[in-house]
Structure 1
Amino acid sequence: MDLLATMRIYVRVVERGTMSGAARDLDMGQPAVSERIERLEKHLGTRLLLRSARTLTCTEEGRIFYERSKALLESADEAVASVSKTENALDGTIRLAAPQCVGEVVLPGVLMHVRTAYPNLHIDLVLNDDIVDLVTEGVDISIRVGQLGDGGFVAHPVGTVGRRLVAAPSYLERHGPIDTAADLANHPFIRVKGVFASERLPLQRDGDALDYARIRTIMTTSHWRPMFDTIVAGGGIGVVQQPACADALAAGTLVELLPRYVIPDFALNVLVHAQRPLPPRVRAVVDLLKHDLPPLLARPAR
């Protein structure tokens, strides 16, 4: 039995909480993962995991073995990296979580840089607007917008994601101009679920305190793209993240409404586990994200 490889499998099973989740992460069949864990328990002469219909729970021995195995694997990765002739010798899998819009619009270019710099790394990209728990979801790096919430992580600020209140010229031709914040309530508003759910849009002018304008939502979506396409088609007004609407604003297929006002930006952070040291492959990708994301997020001058 390759004990080091089996320990990697065991660590991933514990972090994912299921054999099937670990199997997907490791690109293995679930039966193969189960067999390796059973052989590991037989080799150690003790039960590591308590199995129920849906979950796995570590025994006390399993918890100790997980903690020691994780530390040993990180030390092994560090040792390999310290004597590798080039950084592109880094290998393994990076499970990277990101919100949908940032992941689809901003990240592709960054991921190409990752592929060029570290061709032996496998990237498992998970796009989800929900807050992702790094441990239970088996995520190595999480890119998160807005509030960070609680958790055992270290946050690296990389910039802000601007937001724009926009409409299509065709919509304004049919319905007339929007001159004041009070006018917003008279127009159909399209938004992503969970954003502006109170039917109040935060607005700021010339650095003043936040004010809130009433809106009238007529459509919500679970993904930014249908919202964006409906606004471009003239179906209503809405707020779109700057990276997603920059080209449309430049081309004139969207126009910015109430440009004297600013909608507060979202903070963008790169989160990693609160552990020291980080595996070399994780540290390398985090450093690249910290380098590449800020200029991509830089807000263009009006």
Structure 2
Amino acid sequence: MTDMDRLGAMETFVRVVETRSFSAAARDLRVGQPAVSKSIAQLEERFGVRLVMRSTRGLAMTEAGQHFYERARKIVDDAHDAAVALSGAGDGVCGRLRVSAGVTISRLHIVPRLPDFLDQHPHLSLDLVLSDRPGDLIQDGVDVCLRTGMLDDSSVIARKIATCRRLVIGTPAFFERNGALQTPADLSRLAAVVYTEESAGGGDVHGFRRGESEVEVRLSGPLRVSAAEAVRAAVLSGLGYAVASEWMFAPELATGAVRAVFADWLLPPLDCWALFPAGRLMTAKARAFANFVQAELGKTKG
């Protein structure tokens, strides 16, 4: 196997790992599935180790495969960057960028603005992995991960890129039918849609502060959910109110479809973080994407 053949086989292996499928990797690379299988077999034969295991549940990397993937991906990325630099696009923002982000913030604030980012960087392509639960950045091949709330993973490099208010949000009709509210303590008699992801600003108990006054409110209601999209759907249907970030309901707050009550009482704000895999150099393309999201979220009222 020549050096060029080995580089091509590494790229094939990287795509197999990131798509978790021989057939999906073949589609991405525009080759037949037998060619993908042959490349992986050649790598395994060349190094004398098993890299991937097939089962009824799909593909899984061996321990050797995991170590090889981490190194192979950097080599493949460096080769792509070098090729683009030679073609005249020398800013380093090129090749494939793999981003992990929450579903709601992506749908409302990131995906609609991607055309501008990709217009700025025409040699870049994006893999956008949407999930409300962060995974293993290195194992999942993620260059940059966007997450809101508290961080509990010390194995990543974290950079805070934005902050927004958390508010008590519901439809005007919901608040009108539940009567006048005097203080946040009155919320305890109203039906709440409880967002159970405490690390993302949810939870049952919330502390409000205004000047020297502090009020702690325990939420209760007919629905508890673990996904922000379900919180949005339930609130917009009039099922209850929610304690949520301004980001989560930005379009509806702008149109008046929902409104905030007790906005003069402060809740702890919600931070958005760009996370980068520890032990791996932050690439120019990952840094450029984080800077772009930071600028875009900065335009959102918060």
TM-score (norm 2): 0.80
For residues 80 and 204 of structure 1, the distance between their equivalents in structure 2, rounded to whole angstroms, comes to: 55
One-letter amino acid of the counterpart of residue 206, structure 2: L
- State the match for 2:158 in structure 1: 155
Secondary structure, counterpart of 1:103 in structure 2: helix
Secondary structure, counterpart of 2:206 in structure 1: strand
Runs of 5+ unmatched residues, structure 2: none
What is the CA distance between 1:189 and its match in structure 2?
0.3
For residues 157 and 61 of structure 2, the distance between their equivalents in structure 1, rounded to whole angstroms, comes to: 27
- State the match for 1:142 in structure 2: 145
- State the match for 1:267 in structure 2: 271
- State the match for 1:205 in structure 2: 210
- State the match for 1:107 in structure 2: 110
The question of 1:179 aligning with 2:152 is answered no
One-letter amino acid of the counterpart of residue 105, structure 1: L
After superposition, where does 1:261-300 map in structure 2 within 5 Å? 261-290=265-294, 292-299=295-302
Secondary structure, counterpart of 1:130 in structure 2: coil
Q: Return the match for 1:221 from 211, 218, 225.
A: 225
The question of 1:241 aligning with 2:245 is answered yes
* Equivalent pair of 2:228/2:248 in contact (CA under 8 Å): no
Secondary structure, counterpart of 1:160 in structure 2: strand
Q: For 1:139-187, what per-residue CA distance to the aligned partner results, in whole angstroms no more than 9, with x for missing partners?
A: 2210011122225322221111322202222122222012112211111
* Equivalent pair of 1:74/1:277 in contact (CA under 8 Å): no
- State the match for 1:46 in structure 2: 48
After superposition, where does 1:17-96 map in structure 2 within 5 Å? 18-19=20-21, 23=25, 26=28, 32-42=35-45, 44=46, 46-49=48-51, 51=53, 53=55, 55-59=60-64, 66=69, 69-86=72-89, 91-96=94-99
* Equivalent pair of 1:193/1:221 in contact (CA under 8 Å): yes
Secondary structure, counterpart of 1:36 in structure 2: helix
One-letter amino acid of the counterpart of residue 193, structure 2: I
Runs of 5+ unmatched residues, structure 1: none
Go from structure 1 to structure 2 and tell me whether the alpha carbon gap of 1:273 and 1:24 turns closer, same or farther (over 3 Å shift).
farther
For residues 202 and 272 of structure 2, the distance between their equivalents in structure 1, rounded to whole angstroms, comes to: 21
Out of 212-221 and 188-197, give the one that drifted further.
Answer: 188-197
Go from structure 1 to structure 2 and tell me whether the alpha carbon gap of 1:210 and 1:86 turns closer, same or farther (over 3 Å shift).
farther
For residues 172 and 69 of structure 2, the distance between their equivalents in structure 1, rounded to whole angstroms, comes to: 58
For residues 63 and 225 of structure 1, the distance between their equivalents in structure 2, rounded to whole angstroms, comes to: 33
For residues 11 and 37 of structure 1, the distance between their equivalents in structure 2, rounded to whole angstroms, comes to: 10
Go from structure 1 to structure 2 and tell me whether the alpha carbon gap of 1:93 and 1:236 turns closer, same or farther (over 3 Å shift).
same
Q: What is the RMSD of the two structures over their aligned residues, measured on CA atoms?
A: 3.3
What is the CA distance between 1:30 and its match in structure 2?
6.0
Go from structure 1 to structure 2 and tell me whether the alpha carbon gap of 1:21 and 1:210 turns closer, same or farther (over 3 Å shift).
farther
Q: For 1:40-80, what per-residue CA distance to the aligned partner results, in whole angstroms no more than 9, with x for missing partners?
A: 233x2522426363632134xx6775565445334434433
- State the match for 1:164 in structure 2: 167
* Equivalent pair of 2:81/2:95 in contact (CA under 8 Å): no
For residues 136 and 213 of structure 1, the distance between their equivalents in structure 2, rounded to whole angstroms, comes to: 40
Q: How many percent of aligned residue pairs carry the same amino acid? A: 26
When the two structures are aligned, how many residues end up with a matched partner? 293
One-letter amino acid of the counterpart of residue 124, structure 1: D
Secondary structure, counterpart of 2:249 in structure 1: helix
* Equivalent pair of 1:180/1:258 in contact (CA under 8 Å): yes
What is the CA distance between 1:117 and its match in structure 2?
1.2
For residues 116 and 153 of structure 1, the distance between their equivalents in structure 2, rounded to whole angstroms, comes to: 29
Go from structure 1 to structure 2 and tell me whether the alpha carbon gap of 1:180 and 1:67 turns closer, same or farther (over 3 Å shift).
closer
One-letter amino acid of the counterpart of residue 111, structure 1: L
